[in-house]
């Protein structure tokens, strides 16, 4: 491994935004460790990353498990010797369209465990590596959401966790100053992935209508993350919002 190699961990790398970011980073010369719960899709992402000219390692990981997160970052340390970037991307919407009063405790807990606890566990493990390595420091980019600003109907668990992600980002950013760890967040609206397919067929609006919403190419998200990742540690994009230009967010729809 070259001493000039830049090492990244991308969680939720088996599809969607995680896959797009992993391939974009690989094309820019990053070595990427790919984390996710499904081995097959992770290996597909690894092949795409290698085809883009990068080095990739797939590590099956449930980010809500402390033991599996420790194993992931231990593998990164033992294989590559350091960590320069964590893209904290793994997340779940949970059951769609369930009113607040009908959401089960189990469904609430499963969203919180992945979106908040998983993000914390990965950030904590990244901190431990970045703090002790030489040269010291690194960068964490958390995947927030437009839902970190405003909710959709019947999305109490997802929206709550994405507001929590903003607090996590701010706290990590403050605590990371002492160790040359830069922490930022990207809030994404309507990137075209399998998870946002419903935007193209009609999704519930605040006024009760079903409406088709514009989407944007997920590649635009990946390019934005790469820009954030490529900055020197003395500069940081604290918060970035990238969204389909005409989606109903700014103003009254």
Domain ranges of the chain: 6-243
The pLDDT value recorded for residue 222 is 98
Q: Answer whether 0.85 is exceeded by the pTM.
A: yes
Q: 61-78 pLDDT, tens per residue?
A: 999 999 999 999 999 999
Q: 143-192 pLDDT, tens per residue?
A: 999 999 998 989 999 999 999 999 999 999 999 999 999 999 999 999 98
Measure the N-to-C terminal CA separation of the chain; round to a whole number of Å: 50
Whole-number percent of the chain with pLDDT over 70: 98
Instruction: List, as one string, the DSSP characters of 100-153.
Output: GGG--HHHHHHHHIIIIIIHHHHHHHHHHHHHHSSS--EEEEEE--GGGTSPPT
- CATH architecture of the domain formed by 6-243: 3-Layer(aba) Sandwich (3.40)
List the catalytic residues.
Answer: 158
């Amino acid at each position: 491994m070259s001493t000039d190699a830049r090492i990244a961990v991308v969680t939720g790398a088996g599809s969607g935004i995680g896959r797009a970011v992993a391939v974009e980073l690989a094309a820019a010369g990053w070595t990427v460790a790919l984390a996710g719960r499904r081995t097959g899709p992770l290996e597909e992402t690894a092949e795409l990353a290698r085809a883009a000219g990068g080095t990739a390692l797939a590590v099956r990981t449930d980010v809500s498990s402390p033991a599996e997160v420790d194993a992931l970052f231990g593998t990164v340390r033992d294989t590559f010797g350091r960590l320069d970037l964590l893209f904290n991307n793994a997340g779940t919407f949970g059951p769609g369209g369930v009113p607040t009063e009908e959401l089960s405790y189990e469904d609430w807990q499963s969203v919180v465990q992945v979106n908040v606890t998983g993000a914390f566990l990965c950030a904590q493990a990244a901190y431990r590596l970045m703090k002790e390595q030489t040269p010291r420091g690194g960068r964490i980019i958390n995947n927030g959401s437009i839902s970190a600003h405003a909710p959709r109907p019947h999305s109490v668990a997802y929206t709550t966790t994405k507001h929590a992600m903003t607090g996590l980002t701010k706290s990590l950013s403050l605590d990371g100053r002492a160790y040359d760890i830069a922490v930022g967040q990207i809030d994404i609206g309507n990137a075209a992935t399998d998870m946002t397919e419903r935007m193209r067929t009609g999704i519930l609006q605040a006024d009760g209508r079903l409406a088709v919403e514009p989407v944007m190419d997920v590649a635009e998200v990946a390019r934005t993350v790469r820009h954030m990742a490529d900055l020197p540690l003395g500069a940081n994009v604290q918060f970035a919002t990238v969204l389909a230009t005409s989606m109903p967010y700014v103003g009254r729809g």
